[in-house]
Amino acid sequence: MQWVGVPQLASAVSEAGGLGILTALTQPSPDALRVAIRETRKLTSKPFGVNITLLPSINPPDYEGYARAAVEEGVKIFETAGNNPGPLIKYFKSKGCYVIHKCTTIRHAKSAEKLGVDCLSIDGFECAGHPGEDDIGGLVLLARAVKELKIPFVASGGIADARGLAAVLAMGAAGANMGTRFMCTVESPIHQNIKEKIVASTERDTVHIFRTLHNTARVFKNKVAMEVVAIERRGNAKFEDIKDLVSGARGRLVYEKGDPDIGIWSAGIAVGLIDDIPTCEEMLKKWEVEVEDIVAGLNKVVISSKAKL
């Protein structure tokens, strides 16, 4: 949710009954994150969190500075993701914070559990962004999570409607983590053209890049993404060969100018489930009713089975 997890969206999600998340690295500095946190507090009195994603980088951001700024501003809920989260997790727990760590494998989830996180976000292969290198879908990952994890977990990847939410709850998840679906809401800060592009897309309109670099990312299938894929398919591609194509600055322009082909932008296969652009409140209230109806329908299946016996 780089460039998307900003105060206007995070506050709207929290106000609607979800947990809105600010993406720390969307902000250019820890002090800018302080401002974003204060802006969010003006828009909602409900809890919200901050995401800090640890990315492979030659010149890494000031992760510690972002973490310290958020804690000093009174944030109590953090989502971490990426490699070597141990030091951040230790710091947050020492400050009495609740930590959700995002994982794409059960072995990584178990490692995070040992580090003392409170909750895990289990990312299936369907997700936008980085799905890991094992290519395991959410259905199997969630079933494994129920068997092997001792702490709560939420499901992430491929969820964009009430049926998906009901399904992951049935699988044992405590909730669902959604990115692509919330990109396509009224309060989302991205250009209207991009929201309409999501609505017009199908589940076949994403593609993986960075596969040969072992840093796989799922993005929207546009001209730039396919150029990156073509370069990788030639063999022996290095990041230097594609860095200008995949720069964050170009990706940001997609959301600002509304041209879906300017740069790389994240999207999960959940685009195939999105057919409208509601407010966050409209969407979550609608889902609440629909999930109850779906669960009630499953009760009928149980009764019907018993009757046959």
* Angle, CA 32 vertex, CA 61 and CA 117 arms, to 5°: 60
- Whole-number mean pLDDT of the chain? 95
Contact predicate 248/219, CB 8 Å: no
Residue pLDDT, tens place only, 35-64: 999 999 999 999 999 999 998 777 889 999
Residue 308: its pLDDT value, please? Answer: 59
Residue 15: its pLDDT value, please? Answer: 98
| Predicted structure pTM score | 0.93
User: At 300, is the pLDDT very low, low, confident or very high (cuts 50, 70, 90)?
Assistant: confident
Domain with 213, as residue range(s), is: 197-269
Asked whether residue 154 falls in the same domain as residue 209, the answer is: no
Asked whether residue 122 falls in the same domain as residue 210, the answer is: no
Asked whether residue 250 falls in the same domain as residue 158, the answer is: no
Residue pLDDT, tens place only, 122-179: 999 999 999 999 999 999 999 999 999 999 999 999 999 999 999 999 999 999 999 9
Asked whether residue 82 falls in the same domain as residue 214, the answer is: no
Contact predicate 42/306, CB 8 Å: no
Gyration radius of the chain's alpha carbons: 19
Assigned domain for 276 exists: no
Rounded CA separation 241/119 (Å): 38
User: At 305, is the pLDDT very low, low, confident or very high (cuts 50, 70, 90)?
Assistant: low
**Residue 309 predicted with pLDDT over 70:** no
Structure tokens at 101: 């760590």
| Percent of the chain's residues with pLDDT above 90 | 92
Q: Is 207 exposed, middle or buried (0-12, 13-18, 19+ CB in 10 A)?
A: middle
Asked whether residue 240 falls in the same domain as residue 172, the answer is: no
Assigned domain for 43 exists: yes
Residue 116: its pLDDT value, please? Answer: 96
